[in-house]
Amino acid sequence: MRRWLLLLLFVAFAGSAFAGGVHKRVLMIIAHNNFRDEELFVTKRVLSSCGAEVVVVSNERGVAKGMLGGTYRVDKRYDEVNWDQFQAVVLVGGSGATVFWEDNLLQALLKRAYERGKIVAAICLSPITLARAGILRGRKATCWNSVGRMLSRYGALYTGNDVEVSGRIVTAAGPFAAESFGRAICRLLGYR
């Protein structure tokens, strides 16, 4: 009888541990038009392969279009999800990402996510959104080289590196760094 009770307790404990979220959740945000394909698809593949559950949202619902012709069906906007359910938020770049530079709501949500201990990451042109939200002030960061000065204008310490990790913040320079960017986020999530 005692063995059965111990076995039952072990199964209940193990089940609750797995149900409680062994897999970390990552919210990826893309511009509805002209996101950078590799920065979505390569980074998403890396995050998924390390064990993360990835949810992709945008500023509009429907089929989002990448700069290189890729598409992604988006069921929710970034303001329609509960950010508290995610351990990391990732902004994808591309020329369409400039739409977020003036998006005060997204910037406020990013700042709140960071203040609540979440990992915040951005690649290509998207680190400008983090900088405008005040998250990069006084921190090493990188971005697409042509906007490096802009990053500095908002108080970031622009390095020009492919990938930069500063505490819980990951920034990357562009599509060529998408795989390294994804791996850096995986490491911060606790995956090897």
- Dist. CA 142–CA 150, nearest whole Å: 11
Q: Is the pLDDT score of 133 beyond 70?
A: yes
DSSP 8-state code for residue 85: G
Cβ-based burial of 37 (10 A; exposed 0-12, middle 13-18, buried ≥19): buried
At 192 the pLDDT is 77
Only one residue has tokens 């064990």, namely 51
For residue 22, what pLDDT band results from cuts at 50, 70 and 90? Answer: low
Q: Is the pLDDT score of 110 beyond 70?
A: yes
For residue 11, what pLDDT band results from cuts at 50, 70 and 90? Answer: very low
- Dist. CA 159–CA 170, nearest whole Å: 13
Q: For the segment 48-102, what is each residue's pLDDT rounded down to a tens digit?
A: 999 999 999 999 999 999 999 999 999 999 999 999 999 999 999 999 999 999 9
Q: Is the pLDDT score of 18 beyond 60?
A: no
Its CATH class, for the domain covering 24-188, is alpha beta
Instruction: Please write down the HEC assignment for all residues of 140-173.
Output: EECCCHHHHHHHHHCCCEECCCCEEEECCEEEEC
Q: Which two tokens stand for residue 161?
A: 């590196």
CB atoms within 10 A of CB 68: 13
- Dist. CA 13–CA 17, nearest whole Å: 6
At 188 the pLDDT is 97
Only one residue has tokens 């369409």, namely 96
Contact 47, 24 (CB under 8 A): no
Q: Is the pLDDT score of 7 beyond 50?
A: no
* Mean pLDDT along residues 41-52: 97
* Mean pLDDT along residues 108-131: 98
* Mean pLDDT along residues 148-155: 95
